[in-house]
Amino acid sequence: MSVEQINRKINQAFEYDDFAWQRENKIPVLYKDRARGLHKVLYQCPACRTEYRMDSGGAAIWCNHCSKRWTMSEYGELKALEGETHFAHIPDWYEWERKQVRREVEEGRYCFQGNATVRMLPNSKGFIDFGKAVLTHNMDGFTLEGNHDGTSYTLNIPAQSVYSCHIEYNYGKYKRDCVDLNTLNDSYWVFPEGDDFSVTKISLATEELFIYKKL
């Protein structure tokens, strides 16, 4: 399976809760790398609560901070190697992450900021490099402050104006996770640098901020 296929599989699985379907119908997934990429979605450890230190491979997902480790059964269920499993059902883990994000939003302290590489999709001919930028996602929404060919620009997308955001895992020539920010005319593909971020969390925060601002 390619990374794109894994991407699609994970997205679909969450949308339709394939995991429950798989368990209830006893459909085994014998693919030996079945947990690979799962840490992109399950980015927060439920044992030590550390974010962005999860990793996965083969049929396992683990936390590089506290070393807790889970294996994924052929029926899509998780089980901790030692101690409490926390979440056997993968979508429950994801919903738990959403609750942590919601709390940050409700307490007014949600904030992500990091350096990023930007690419643009100006037309159907493909991507062009658009220089470096600083991406900020906080209670106000998205701000992208960048520089392209010596000209600085700022893009603001208020939290109340977007109910969701498009993300991709291991995308494009850099094989990096990205957030796609759109204006009426342009599409900015923002690839945060380093490992201290999760586009899944940014996506959850976009949804939770929109709901919070609407209330």
Nearer to Zn ion, 68 or 119 (CB): 68
Of 36, 39, 41, which is closest to residue 204 (Cα–Cα)? 41
Of 92, 74, 97, 171, which is closest to residue 127 (Cα–Cα)? 171
Going by the DSSP 8-state scheme, the letter that residue 103 receives in this structure is: H
CB of 41 to Zn ion, least distance (A): 16
CB of 83 to Zn ion, least distance (A): 11
User: What phi, psi does 49 have (nearest 5°)?
Assistant: 70, 10
Nearer to Zn ion, 36 or 68 (CB): 68
User: What phi, psi does 29 have (nearest 5°)?
Assistant: -105, 110
CB of 109 to Zn ion, least distance (A): 21
Residue 45 in contact with Zn ion, rule: CB under 5 A = yes
Counting every residue, how long is the chain?
215
| Window 64-103: contact mask with Zn ion (x via CB under 5 A) | -xx-x-----------------------------------
Dihedral sign, Cα of residue 83, residue 88, residue 94, residue 96: negative
* 13, 42, 61, 63: which one binds Zn ion (CB under 5 A): 63
Window of 12-20, 60-68, 121-129, 155-163 that interacts with Zn ion by CB under 5 A: 60-68
Residue 48 in contact with Zn ion, rule: CB under 5 A = yes
| CA separation for the pair 90, 19 (Å, rounded) | 7
Q: Interface residues with Zn ion (CB under 5 A)?
A: 45, 47-48, 63, 65-66, 68
